Chains A and B, each alone.
Chain A
Amino acid sequence: MQIVNYLSASAIPIIILIIIFYGIKEKKKIFDIFLEGAKEGIKIVINLFPTLIGIFLAVGALRNSGILDFIINLISPITNLLKIPSQILPLAMLRPISGSASMGVAVDIMQKYGTDTTIGMITSVIMGSTETTFYTIAIYTACIKVKKIRFVLLAALLADLAGMIASVIICQVLS
Chain B
Amino acid sequence: MLNAIWPAFIIISFIYALVSGNIEQTSNGIFESSASAVELTITFFGTICLWNGIINIAKQTSLMTKLTKLLQPIIRFLFPELKNNQKAKEEISMNIVANLLGLGNAATPLGLKAMETMQEDNKNKDTLTNSMAMFIVLNTASLQLIPTNVMAIRSSLGSNAPSNIILQVWIATVIAAIVGITATKILMKRF
B-contacting residues of A (Cβ < 8 Å)? 4-5, 7-9, 11-12, 15-16, 18-20, 22-23, 25-26, 28, 30, 33-42, 44-45, 48-49, 52-67, 70, 94, 97-98, 101, 103, 106-107, 110-111, 115-116, 120-121, 124-131, 133-134, 136-137, 139-141, 143-152, 154-156, 158-163, 166-167, 170-171, 174
Contacts and interface: CB of A to CB of B under 8 A. Distances in A.
B9 interface: yes
Chain B's interface size range is: 35 or more
B34 A53 contact: yes
27 contacts: A15-B146, A19-B63, A33-B56, A37-B53, A42-B49, A45-B49, A52-B41, A56-B33, A57-B33, A61-B10, A61-B26, A61-B33, A124-B150, A127-B149, A128-B173, A137-B136, A143-B112, A144-B119, A146-B125, A146-B126, A151-B191, A152-B184, A156-B137, A159-B176, A160-B140, A160-B176, A162-B179
B16 A65 contact: yes
A20 to B, nearest CB: 7
Interface in B1-41: 1-2, 5-6, 9-10, 12-14, 16-17, 20, 22, 25-26, 28-30, 32-34, 36-37, 40-41
B172 to A, nearest CB: 4
B70 interface: no
Interface of B: 1-2, 5-6, 9-10, 12-14, 16-17, 20, 22, 25-26, 28-30, 32-34, 36-37, 40-41, 44-45, 48-63, 105, 108, 111-112, 115-116, 119, 124-128, 132-133, 135-137, 139-142, 144-147, 149-150, 153-154, 157-169, 171-173, 175-180, 183-184, 187-188, 190-191
